[in-house]
Amino acid sequence: MPLPEPGSEAGAAALDRIVRRPADAVLSFDFDGTLAPIVSDPSDARAYPGVTAELSRLAPLVGRLVIITGRPAAVAVEYGGLADVANILVLGHYGFERWEYGGVTAPDPPAGVGLVREELPELLRRSGAHDGTRIEDKGRSLAVHTRGAADPDAALETLRIPLAALAQRAGLTVEPGRRVIELRPAGMDKGSALAGVVADAAEGAAVLYAGDDLGDLAAFETVERLRDRGVPGVTVCSGSDEVTELAARADLVVDGPQGVAELLTSLREAIAAQV
Ligand SMILES: O=P(O)(O)OC[C@H]1O[C@H](O[C@H]2O[C@H](CO)[C@@H](O)[C@H](O)[C@H]2O)[C@H](O)[C@@H](O)[C@@H]1O
């Protein structure tokens, strides 16, 4: 399978560098919408067929494989079947949690998460939440999903202001996403998480980041900043009709999780052809 061509010179140079010097490279991926297709019940999300096997084949060839997700790290490991992928680091809760070699480390969640847990059901009732709206309690944060509503976008709009007010009262930040609004602790995002990984990587290591949602923009910005400092970097958008902001900014746009799976295969084949 041929390796796709990034639309930008910087992206093409970074992808070329990854192929020529894989042992240094940092390959990083979002989970939902990137490695896993979007489904209506968040607990049904699983890695796209073949993705986990492809990550396992890539792992020994590259410097670092990283998943950076809004999910709890252990959930992404379970749903992605990642526990046995060697050399993989899973950063959960936008980087607050670190899963490596089977164990998770993380700071305690702030008290505001408890307040949101207590008040959210009543707030949804008072705010006229549409039928099909659901709460996902992720332990360190809570997400309100509207994908199950008859009109998911209208259902989300109904809740935007009340959820922002609750987040402010609880001292949490609002994280918007694909038919979801999450109330989560501030002070970390996927950009800082990725920057931390790259800081620990070999000098001059090339970076690839692939994502699909608004929360991934911070990681795109980190790749762009690293590039300004001479670090080769390529951004990949797992394209969808739901979010257009990333496609406009990415070096390479692929067709959702299937396109990401094909990219993994073509990257692995290109690397194998070099060695
Ligand atoms: O950072 P990610 O790995 O992309 O996680 C972001 C959120 O993903 C999940 O929600 C999204 O995927 C669900 C399953 O496909 C879908 O039902 C929902 O509409 C999407 O927004 C997850 O449930 C959230 O907790 C994550 O924050």
HSE-CB of 128 using CA atoms within 13 angstroms: 6
With a CB cutoff of 8 Å and minimum separation 6, the contacts of 268 are: 54, 57, 58, 61
Contact 211 CB / ligand 1 (< 6 Å): no
Average pLDDT over residues 173-195: 98
Measured by CA distance, the residue closest to atom 25 of ligand 1 is 71
- Per-residue pLDDT reduced to its tens digit, 100-132: 999 999 999 899 999 999 999 999 999 999 999
Host H or E run for residue 191: helix 190-199
- Per-residue pLDDT reduced to its tens digit, 231-246: 999 999 999 999 999 9
32 Cα: distance to centroid of ligand 1 (angstroms): 5
Residue ranges per structural domain of the chain = 9-107+188-274, 112-184
pLDDT value at 173 more than 90: yes
Average pLDDT over residues 243-258: 97
The rounded percent of the chain whose pLDDT value lies above 70 is 100
Across the chain, what does the average pLDDT equal? 97
Contact 39 CB / ligand 1 (< 6 Å): yes
Contact 54 CB / ligand 1 (< 6 Å): no
Contact 153 CB / ligand 1 (< 6 Å): no
Q: Are 136 and 148 in contact (CB under 8 A)?
A: no
Counting other chains too, the contacts that 194-199 makes at CB distance below 8 Å and 24 or more residues apart are 194/28, 194/66, 194/68, 194/219, 194/222, 194/223, 195/222, 195/225, 195/226, 196/95, 197/26, 197/28, 197/64, 197/66, 197/89, 197/91, 198/26, 198/222, 198/226, 198/231
37 Cα: distance to centroid of ligand 1 (angstroms): 10
Average pLDDT over residues 27-33: 98
216 Cα: distance to centroid of ligand 1 (angstroms): 12
42 Cα: distance to centroid of ligand 1 (angstroms): 6
40 Cα: distance to centroid of ligand 1 (angstroms): 10
Q: Are 70 and 40 in contact (CB under 8 A)?
A: no
What is the domain class of 9-107+188-274 according to CATH? alpha beta
What is the domain class of 112-184 according to CATH? alpha beta
pLDDT value at 45 more than 70: yes
- Per residue, the 3-state secondary structure of 21-40, as one string, reads CHHHCEEEECCECCCECCCC
Read off the pLDDT band of 177 (50, 70, 90): very high
Average pLDDT over residues 79-92: 96
Residue of 30, 31, 32, 184 to test ligand 1 pocket, by largest number of atoms within 8 Å of CB: 32
229 Cα: distance to centroid of ligand 1 (angstroms): 32
Average pLDDT over residues 39-60: 97
- Per-residue pLDDT reduced to its tens digit, 209-228: 999 999 999 999 999 999 99
Contact 180 CB / ligand 1 (< 6 Å): yes
Q: What's the pLDDT at 158?
A: 98
Q: What's the pLDDT at 204?
A: 84
39 Cα: distance to centroid of ligand 1 (angstroms): 9
Atom of ligand 1 nearest to the CA of 44: 14
Beta bridge partners of 252: 236
ipTM above 0.90, yes or no: yes
Q: What's the pLDDT at 275?
A: 66
Average pLDDT over residues 51-58: 98
Read off the pLDDT band of 87 (50, 70, 90): confident
Read off the pLDDT band of 274 (50, 70, 90): confident
